Structure 1
């Protein structure tokens, strides 16, 4: 669903190129949408429509969120596998923390630094988290993210 727009669009931007890069690594559209826009609003129909219109979907035209998330992604990529990053755990956690931050601008820097400071053992513990008792894997991952990233 990314290949056709990539071939037919006469003009793209960094957000779209990032989306194509994530897709090439096997990321699902919902996770791509979160990394690229901070929301889960990019849908397959948006990509179909952009093939017809020859223009980027409106949701991908703003680079504001991308400018933040690319730094987080690059920091996270040094610590986590593509397989883990393609799941929504980390980006959903970051979005929730960002949306609730008293100072979102400061949070952007703090989370980037926290990701860079993760030890290999901490990153492995997060990636390999398993269900514990009644807690789902996702709950365990979120608790570890809170513990290590703040």
Structure 2
């Protein structure tokens, strides 16, 4: 069970994963040894994953963000497994959701530019044998982006 101190630890680490244990303990009102034990317990429980640094997509040549709906040719287990393995192998695909409704999957894909996305779409994504069709929606600007879960 996550208690209020654990929630404060999680909130602080979502805001800044580079905090030292002493800084984190001070911010959440805990002793450093207790805070360290709590962080290790949250890691062991799988609640806390690895610490990462977030990048500015435009500054690393990934400035185009596309939401792409996918319709599968078949919903057979081997087709979906093959498609999901393909998704995991492609670094351009940032997020993938299996969907209810008219489309089978929703992908968020990044590319350096529109031409780069078109190459990926035409040569790679639509070339996958499980994919019947795709519908792309280009983000004009980013109004909100967050990796923080509401705790």
- TM-score bracket for this pair, using the shorter chain length: under 0.3
Between Structure 1 and Structure 2, the one with more strand by share is 2
TM-score, scaled relative to structure 1: 0.27
TM-score, scaled relative to structure 2: 0.27
Larger radius of gyration: 2
Between Structure 1 and Structure 2, the one with more helix by share is 1
More relative contact order in 1 or in 2 (CA 8 Å, sep 6+)?
Answer: 2
